[in-house]
Amino acid sequence: MVLSFIVFIELPYIGLKKLNYNDKPRAYFNLLFAFDCETSAINFDNKLNPAKGCQAVSWGIMILNANTLETLEELYLEVKWNGESEWSMDAEKVHGLSKEYLEENGMDEQDALVEIANLIGKYWAGDTMVNTLGHNSISFDLPFLFDLYDKHGLKLKFSYRNIDTNTLGFTLLRTYNSDDLFTSLALPERKIHNALEDIRYTVECVRRIRILWDAKVGIKGKYL
């Protein structure tokens, strides 16, 4: 006979502690590469690389002051279909960018890479690792960015400290997707997914969560 026991442990009251950042925090960084991409398709068969055999068709990028979350610069790019990547009509319905539209209005993949690389080089010199922010970006958008770099033989050093609002939303607000996260923080409803609008919404979510936390707990120090 198998006996099952449920043990209830009374947890202590969870207090909130105000941090003092007069000393530089460990792993401190002052810039964020916030980004989102829309894609031609998703490779659901490759769990480690959803970008394999696919491509990004648009990029929305914001360079942020990591302390204040102030926007320093924005970039929006639309990219032509490269003629080889898988194309999903389901993906097209999400972002509304057709092959025909992109052929007329988009740029070549290589030109998009130059624009992105130049922007990163403007703010991160040499071997400085880039810290990122996005929604579900660690498992989705980053692989598409790595894939773009790899296609053209370039390497980019990203930090292993990346902020993902998908995790933030689930932990704090019990949301399971970007639509619910944005709605829970009172952002206007989206019609289609636009990469720049999406990353603006994502950044605004982080700003609003910070405001709520600061109002509840407070924070002080020169490293803000």
Q: What pLDDT sits at residue 95?
A: 97
* Backbone torsion region of residue 124, taken as left when φ is above 0, otherwise alpha when ψ lies between -120 and 50, otherwise beta: beta
pTM: 0.89
- Residues 93-138: tens digit of each pLDDT: 999 999 999 999 999 999 999 999 999 999 998 778 899 999 999 9
How much is the average pLDDT of 140-151? 93
pLDDT tens for 21-33 read 777 888 889 999 9
Domains present along the chain, CATH in parentheses: 31-163 (3.30.420.10)
pLDDT interval class at 158 (50, 70, 90): confident
Radius of gyration of the chain (CA): 20
